[in-house]
């Protein structure tokens, strides 16, 4: 990817842009660059998708039932759980 100064600025602000924490002025500047630069649009879209995939994957992780039981016993809290 051949990066212009605007591309480098966008990459530097990528997290803030995704998190919505850039100032309105900077946001407008970055959005204007994104309209012109396909590569940067791809970087923004794939970064958002990366976070989304991890987030979704995380929600599917559950504590194994065996471990839960062992923990309650170890902490001596078995009588206080549902």
Partner 1 sequence: MSEQIKTAEALSLEALRSGDKAEIASLVEIFLDPVYRLALRMTGNEEDAEDVAQESFIKIIKSLPSFEGRSQISTWIYRIAMNESLMNLRRRKPLNASVEIDRETGDSQDEEIQIIDWAGQPETELITSEAKKELDSAISRLPEGLRSVFILRDLQDLSIDNTSEILGISTANVKTRLLRARLKLRQDLSVYYRERVIKE
Query: Which one among 32, 36, 68, 69 touches partner 1, defined by CB under 8 A?
Result: 68
Burial class (CB in 10 A: 0-12, 13-18, 19+), 33: middle
In sequence order, what are the residues at sequence separation of 6 or more whose Cβ sits closer than 8 angstroms to the Cβ of residue 40? 7, 10, 11, 33, 34
Our finding on whether 4 is near partner 1 (CB under 8 A) is no
Q: Tokens at residue 58, please? A: 């995380």
Token pair, residue 70, equals 């062992």
Q: Which is nearer to partner 1, 26 or 43 (CB)?
A: 43
Instruction: Spell out, one character per residue from 23 to 62, where the chain touches partner 1: x when CB under 8 A holds, - when not.
Output: ----------------x--xx-xxxxxxx-xxxxxx--xx
Give me 26's structure tokens.
Answer: 């900077």
- Binding residues (CB under 8 A) for partner 1: these are 1, 3, 11-12, 14-16, 18, 39, 42-43, 45-51, 53-58, 61-64, 67-68, 70-72, 74-77, 79-82
């Amino acid at each position: 990817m051949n990066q212009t100064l605007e591309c480098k600025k966008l990459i530097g602000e990528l997290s803030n842009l995704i998190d919505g924490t850039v100032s309105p002025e900077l946001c407008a500047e970055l959005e204007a660059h994104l309209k012109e630069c396909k590569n940067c649009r791809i970087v923004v879209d794939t970064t958002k998708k990366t976070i989304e995939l991890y987030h979704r994957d995380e929600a599917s992780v559950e504590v194994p039932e065996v471990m839960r039981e062992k923990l309650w016993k170890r902490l001596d809290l078995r009588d206080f759980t549902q």
